[in-house]
Amino acid sequence: MSRIVNVAAAQLGPIQREDSRAIVVKRLIDLLRQAHSRNAELVVFPELALTTFFPRWFVDDITQADHWYETNMPSVATQPLFDEAKRLGVGFCLGYAELTADSQRFNTQILVERNGSVVAKYRKVHIPGHEHHEPDRPFQHAERYYFTPSNEGFGVWKAFGGRIGMMICNDRRWPETYRVMGLQGVEIILCGYNTPLHYVPDPSQDPLQGFHNALVMQSGAYQNGTFVVGVAKGGLEEGVDGLADSSIIAPSGELLAKTTTSDDEVITATCDLDWCNNYKNTLFDFDRYRRPEVYGRITQQRGSILD
Amino acid sequence: MSRIVNVAAAQLGPIQREDSRAIVVKRLIDLLRQAHSRNAELVVFPELALTTFFPRWFVDDITQADHWYETNMPSVATQPLFDEAKRLGVGFCLGYAELTADSQRFNTQILVERNGSVVAKYRKVHIPGHEHHEPDRPFQHAERYYFTPSNEGFGVWKAFGGRIGMMICNDRRWPETYRVMGLQGVEIILCGYNTPLHYVPDPSQDPLQGFHNALVMQSGAYQNGTFVVGVAKGGLEEGVDGLADSSIIAPSGELLAKTTTSDDEVITATCDLDWCNNYKNTLFDFDRYRRPEVYGRITQQRGSILD
């Protein structure tokens, strides 16, 4: 089996509130075709790729937001994407809001193999933002109202000839995210994100958004010897400017490809999964060099404890 | 109490095998004075700052290496450094090889307050390299022969008006290092290192040494909202070229100062410890956002487990 995977990051520009799923799915199919024409076999779409980033608005009755969520996947609206991907023999990773039969709400990403089968589902673990309406904000980031943090953790799945993991947006800022997957031998981590350029609680971070995005994904890649594919929904969406900077990162931490626009854009990279072993078998040979006996605080405590 | 700490990184150029401790301590005192003249109150010296990096040679009988280790600190040779630091009212952090009364060997760093008292001792946790003689290498990296990995872990000490942690060289490549200190509220992490530019097990990493050094320290700083001071012994030492690139890094992950030579050189930065709170109290509010319930593998397993 080949250890080369041709990967595409399919960045989306903004999706406005009034844009129907049909319109969005057309854009996704167009990006899929572009990626396929560049030989990609795995196409990664952003977080919440089917709608605008609706946690920027608060609604008192959460069922009023139900229309932003998917109750089935594939849905009627996304079936054409699944069909076209299968026809082209291209796999993909897609983020969307999930409403389960028992009324749980997750920020979800699925991995679809080249034969059209859904091989993995990941639900976001690290939910940023706030639980309650904060009317003084210029825009809400009420993800903690709209989504339950998943307790299923970070899995790694055999697919595309390698070991694939997933994370979503804020997950990428936490080194534990990469490490839990690294300890399962992950070789490519797929990550969609929506990142407003303005961080309301501390605007001093605003000019650093691009730097921080690269820093966490590049270090997570290097420290675990894995590729990372980070894919934005960027640009000016309902008045809120979002980071673009979609990237494909090597196990060396080096940037292999990066978008140059804030709009719909495809970038690709040829990922030789054996490159991971340069790190996993040497400097980051975990079995030889890690020291879990002194890492206890990482799992024994949630917050900081000051003596 | 002021929350401003003026920190210096006192980089060393090479120390050759024949250089006596008296000669080295003179260089350290000279750097200390330069740092004091620039208003520094805390001066950070490299790992194994008193001798050449002796793990590059193997000896069959380890007691033949005893002369590279310190059995007391201060020692006769280092007493002038302690005296001058106390006279100037400058604290410092110093790395050296420690041989204990019960014949244990550690790669050690101490923190000395402005009044001359040793307030903390840290012994290296992550020991890189190899245990046995590998005669085919152009040079040895037999740290695992010369040093026992410490089981004391990563402490954080109240000193210099803040919370200070320490790590040594290879420790800085492991995100667990920063996190264990971050969970104790660390505000400045002090790190000495000796990093050969040539990584024998995988030379593809050689041109990336500077990038990797910055990547791990900048991400560790950002992800834990802490300053990091990384200090090299660099330059051509006994035929082996060492990374310089000593750096002072902000809680934002930004580089505040970096050396430009591979020789003895002082850089300084004014560190406002309250800057840490911009991160610790918002995006990286651990108590609010961390998810230790899904981090179990980090402490439950050492190496990767492939299903």
Q: How far is B51 from chain A (nearest CA, A)?
A: 25
Indicate the average pLDDT of chain B: 98
Q: What is the pTM of this model?
A: 0.98
Round to whole Å and give the CA distance between B134 and B131: 9
pLDDT band of A277, cuts 50, 70, 90 = very high
Nearest residue in chain B measured CA to CA from A304 = B183
Contact residues on chain A for B158, CB-CB shorter than 8 A: 307
pLDDT digits (tens, 9 = 90+) for B136-173: 999 999 999 999 999 999 999 999 999 999 999 999 99
Q: What is the average pLDDT across A99-125?
A: 97
pLDDT band for position A307 (cuts 50, 70, 90): confident
**CA-to-CA distance for A292 and A298, rounded, in angstroms?**
10
Confidence band (pLDDT; 50, 70, 90) for A260?
Answer: very high
Distance CA A240, CA A198 (A): 8
pLDDT of residue B84: 98
Question: Cis ω on the peptide bond leading into residue A74 (within 30° of 0)?
Answer: yes
As a whole number of angstroms, the distance between CA A43 and CA A93 comes to 6
Amino acid at A154: F
Nearest by CB to B297, from A183, A199, A288: name it. Answer: A183
B301 chain-A contacts, CB cut-off 8 A: 183, 292
Q: Under an 8 A CB cutoff, do A305 and B183 touch? A: yes
Work out the pLDDT band at A2, boundaries 50, 70, 90. low
Q: Which residues pair with B268 in a beta bridge?
A: B8
Find tokens 């994100």 and name the residue.
A193
- Chain A positions touching B282 (Cβ under 8 A) are 199, 201-202, 205
Say yes or no for a CB contact (<8 Å) between A302 and B286. Answer: yes
Residue of chain A with shortest Cα separation from B279: A202
DSSP B69-103: SBSSSS-TTTHHHHHHHHHHT-EEEEEEEEE-TTS
- Contact: B294, A152; criterion CB under 8 Å: yes
Round to whole Å and give the CA distance between B184 and B191: 17
Q: One-letter amino acid identity for B10? A: A
Amino acid (1-letter code) at residue A113: E
Has A238 been annotated as catalytic?
A: no
Of all residues in chain A, the one with the smallest CA distance to B174 is A223
**Nearest chain A CA: its distance from B22 CA (Å):** 35
Q: What is the pLDDT of residue A162?
A: 97
Preferred mutation among A154, A176, A208 to probe B, highest tally of B CBs within 10 A: A176
Phi, psi of B131 (to 5 degrees): -95, -30
Tell me the Ramachandran region of residue A156: left when phi exceeds 0, alpha when psi lies from -120 to 50, beta otherwise: beta
Domains recognised in chain B with CATH numbers: 4-300 (3.60.110.10)
pLDDT of residue A134: 97
pLDDT level of residue A102 (50, 70, 90 thresholds): very high
pLDDT at B1 over 70: no
List B41, B47, B84, B237, catalytic entry: B47
- State whether A215 and B216 contact (CB < 8 Å): no
* Residue B191 annotated to the active site: no
Q: What is the pLDDT of residues A15-54, one digit of tens each?
A: 999 999 999 999 999 999 999 999 999 999 999 999 999 9
Report pLDDT digits (tens) over B168-186. 999 999 999 999 999 999 9
Chain centroid, CA A27 distance in Å: 18
Mean pLDDT of all residues in A121-133: 98
Query: Do the Cβ atoms of B282 and A201 come within 8 Å?
Result: yes
Contact A125, A177 (CB under 8 A): yes
Closest-approach residue (CA) in chain B for A286: B303
Residue A196 CB neighbours (<10 A) = 19
Interface contacts (A, B; CB < 8 Å): 222
ipTM of the complex: 0.98
DSSP A52: -
CA dist., res. A244 & res. A55, Å (int): 18
State residue B307's pLDDT score.
Answer: 83
In this prediction, residues A96-122 reach a mean pLDDT of 97
Task: State what percent of residues in chain B have pLDDT above 70.
Answer: 99
Which residue from A87, A77, A88, A128 is spatially nearest to A107, judged by alpha carbons? A128
**What separation, in Å, do the N-terminal and C-terminal C-alpha atoms of chain B show?**
54
**Candidates A208, A223, A289; nearest CB to B175:** A223
Tell which wins on pLDDT, A177 or B2.
A177
Q: Which residues of B264-288 are buried (b: 16+ CB within 10 A; e: fewer)?
A: bbbbbbebebebbebbbebbbbbee
Residue A272 to residue B34: CA distance in whole angstroms: 49
Are A287 and B306 within 8 A, CB to CB? Answer: no
How large is the angle between the packed helices A175-182 and A209-224, nearest 10 degrees?
Answer: 20
Q: Which of A3, A2, A5, A11 is nearest to A244 (CA)?
A: A11
Residue type, A54: F
pLDDT tens for A184-198 read 999 999 999 999 999
> CA B26, CA B77: separation in Å to the nearest integer?
10
Which residue in A113, A143, A169, A187 is the catalytic one? A169
- Between CA A50 and CA A171 the distance in angstroms is 20
- The H or E element containing residue B189 is strand B188-193
Give residue A154's pLDDT: 98
pLDDT 10s digits, B202-229: 999 999 999 999 999 999 999 999 999 9
What's the pLDDT score for residue B2?
A: 62
The beta-carbon neighbor of B173 closest among A283, A285, A296 is A283
The 3-state secondary structure of B56-72, one letter per residue = HCCCCCHHHHHHHCECC
**Which one of the listed residues B70, B98, B113, B169 is annotated catalytic?**
B169
Strand partners, B105: B99
Q: Which residues of B touch A154 (CB under 8 A)?
A: 294
Chain B CA closest to residue A126 = B289
As beta bridge partners, residue B271 has: B5
Active site residue A169: yes
Residue A1 pLDDT > 70: no
